[in-house]
Amino acid sequence: MRLHMPLHGGLLVGSAVFFAPHAPQSGIPFQTRIGMPRHLPEEIVQQTTRACATIERHLGNTVQAIHLFGSAMDGGLKPQSDIDLLVTARVAPDESVRRALLLDLLAVSAPPGDTSWRPLEVTVVAHGEVVPWRYPARRELQFGEWLRQDLLGGTFEPPMLDHDLAILLTKARQHSLALFGPPAQALFDPVPARDFAGALADTVAQWNSAEDWQGEERHIMLALARIWYSASTGRIAPKDSAADWLLERLPGEHRPILREARDVYRGLVVGDVPPDPERTEAFIRFAKANILPLLDRPDEGR
């Protein structure tokens, strides 16, 4: 779907319009003017439009930019892929706005496996908290399906320092579509290599025992493949592409379980049964032991 900025200031996504604050009044097609891709994946146009309208309704004229990134822009959407949105606000939203936005996003997102809509992942940052860049940087809120029950139960995460923003902003600068505002390369500073490596190491450090990956085994194995790729090359690849890269380098005993995780992610096989716990743990520990030295971090026996 082609994106244009109508003269009245609304952002046209497909045939639907949502209204963005301080919209440029140029008659030049929106995506042509900023030099970004011209098309959204057809299947997510309606949901993305609804999500952006929800964000604008709560954040109003504080919205500085909305970027679509992740699988939709790099590697292609897979059966279980989220729709990833990065929202940059001019000022941090207050607590009442944060809570209202988080609750309303529940209505424009669906758990994995839903046949109509995809899971939505929305990260909101205040521009002054990430530019100039500092590590770790602060995020104002994050919405994802893993938080659904907490939100319905009245539990809301506070704003927090988040090492993962170093990875997220790097992804956005490399592969994103500006639904509103300037391209990510113009809005955000480059993340220094040391901070990117530090964020990768901090992510790996979360996974130390079976309790840390229970129920998320395949997701974490693919995340480790992508981190290993990034630690080795300095680049970011889609999960399944990183798994392809790693499968060529793994010892034989670890290949089957990673290959299965990749194929489930691609929708080639059904992943109803959890992977073998012993082989899962063996792969995760092997991956950690090889990744952390690449990031100048000791494994510390974990």
Nearest-angstrom CA–CA distance, 183 and 34: 7
Asked whether the predicted pLDDT for residue 275 surpasses 90, the reply is yes
What is the pTM assigned to this prediction? 0.85
Residue 62's CB: how many other CB atoms inside 10 A?
18
Catalytic pick among 121, 140, 217, 260: 121
Q: Please report the domains of the chain, with CATH numbers, ordered by start residue.
A: 3-189 (3.30.460.10), 195-294 (no CATH)
Active site residue 260: no
Quick check: helix, strand or coil at residue 113?
A: coil
Is the per-residue pLDDT at 271 higher than 90? no
Residue 168 pLDDT greater than 90, yes or no: yes
Q: Strand, helix or coil at 85? A: strand
235-257 per-position pLDDT tens digit: 999 999 999 999 999 999 999 99
pLDDT band at 299 (very low <50, low <70, confident <90, very high): low
